[in-house]
Chains A and B, each alone.
Chain A
């Protein structure tokens, strides 16, 4: 069966520090991968999605970036965090069919 792992689950980072969130999917090949962000009390905002290795589509201009160095690995990064980057970050995957599956999320607090 397919599983998705996302880490770290929680982190507190100072303003201006770098960020790296990692997501891996097991049990499938060539999935579509997604990063979403949910600010407190709000809906999910699509940040990036990838249909293959090295292929990244950015939906919102910001100081975040994404990379897909391997087929089942998706990384969200920032060189310098802002207070406004705080939120709940969710990785998701989809392969055959149309159902999308989410990881457990990463809570980021920028202080």
Chain B
């Protein structure tokens, strides 16, 4: 099956710092999404981004489908950004998302 690898596995930042999270996948995908899981376990969809670049406030994401990777950028990080960030991909429309193991982000004030 498809492999989804995220790096780094853990990231510790001071408030205000910028960071880049990476997601590599082993096959062509129909769908790629980024999620944030807060400390209470709730998963929130950040971006649907099978290709191209999107921005939402301090967050932005870029997917280069031909090279099979996606990047999530967090600028001016805040303590509320802490949690686990997941990348998930779908091989064919209408199937299911396969998740990477996540990047655990800790932002301290």
Contacts and interface: CB of A to CB of B under 8 A. Distances in A.
Interface of A: 32, 34, 36, 38, 42-46, 49, 51, 57, 59, 88, 90, 97-102, 104-105, 107
Contacts of B98: 46
Interface residues of B, number: 20
Interface string B84-100: 00101010001111111
A43 B102 contact: yes
B34 to A, nearest CB: 11
A90 B43 contact: yes
Contacts of A46: 96-99
A105 B31 contact: no
Contact of A51 (B50, B86, B94): B94
B41 A104 contact: yes
A102 B96 CA distance: 13
Given A98-B50, A99-B45, A100-B45, 6 more contacts: A44-B88, A59-B96, A98-B48, A99-B48, A100-B88, A101-B45
Contacts of B96: 32, 34, 46, 49, 57, 59
Interface of B: 31, 33, 41-43, 45, 48, 50, 86, 88, 90, 94-102
Contacts of B33: 98-100
Contacts of B95: 49
